[in-house]
Amino acid sequence: MKTVEREEIFKSSIEYKTPNGILIAIGGAESKGATDEHAEIANHNYVKFEILQRFVDELKVKNPLVVVIPTASESPEAVGQDYVRVFRKLKVKNVKVLNIASREDSCQEEYLALIQKATGVMFTGGDQLRLTSIFGGTEIMRLIKYRYYKDKLVIAGTSAGAAAMSTQMIFQGKSEGFIKGSVSITAGLELLNDVAIDTHFIARGRIVRMVQMIATNPTFIGIGLEEDTGVVVKKGNQLEVIGSGLVTIVDGRESTYTNIYEIDEGAPVTMRDLRVHLLGKGDTYTLEIF
């Protein structure tokens, strides 16, 4: 890219407040059409390919370029090719995999050129700390954010790829998470403002670790995504639930008390007067974060 273009991208966070792009955050295990998928067996709301089809539908151009980023995965080549196969089943023929394994990789001009042309970007699952450590502050991440705000770029992330979208990111911790110090938090890629996302939320019993994260700063709204479930986010704060499961919204802004600043590590965290919403397919929610 030219120097002028790079300067414009660097300034974009100041110039753009409401994104023109769309985010799709997925709780993991989204349907890829397999006959033994758990949701198909257990849930009447299951629709084969529903979430990935919605991603494709939101691209809204002929012959879209979809860029798959499997950086979070321990098996990036296999995971990347898996998504190539699925998207081709969904009639998207132009799919490229960016196997970025280091911060040095992220600087390659060919990768920047693909992001510049992309209609959609898909972050796969894996380890969200690996994803943020490699992408955070890089030129390619600034370009993704720039295009998300300025253009109609569609960005999807599943499991780790969804968790990394938020401002505050839980990157490890026991599922029960009620003991102070048992949850590790860092900054995410900050595609959503004042939001924290956790995935596999009901299947792995993660509401209490979300509450501990919110207790540290009740400004943040927690979004818990169940498997084969996601949210489509437009204008940066308009959520629509898709998929077969539930989305849990945890709002601590009107909470009256937490003991997290009074107790030592190893003691249970308490919090009072949380607001919790359970949302299903087709439900909408406005994040009051601006």
Active-site positions read 159, 176, 200
d(CA 87, CA 67): 11
* Helix orientation angle between 50-59 and 76-89, rounded to the nearest 10 degrees: 70
**Separation of alpha carbons 121 and 111, rounded Å:** 12
Name the residue type at position 83. Y
How many Cβ atoms sit within 10 Å of the Cβ of residue 138?
17
Q: Edge-to-edge strand order for the sheet containing 275-279?
A: 183-187, 168-173, 195-199, 221-225, 247-251, 275-279
- Do 232 and 240 contact (CB within 8 A), yes or no? yes
Tokens representing 289 are 């974060």
Query: Distance of alpha carbon 205 from its chain centroid, rounded?
Result: 19
The residue among 149, 85, 169, 167 whose CA lies nearest residue 122 is: 85
Structure tokens at 149: 């705000």
Is 182:211 a contact under the CB 8 Å cutoff? Answer: no
A 10 A CB-CB count for 195 gives: 25
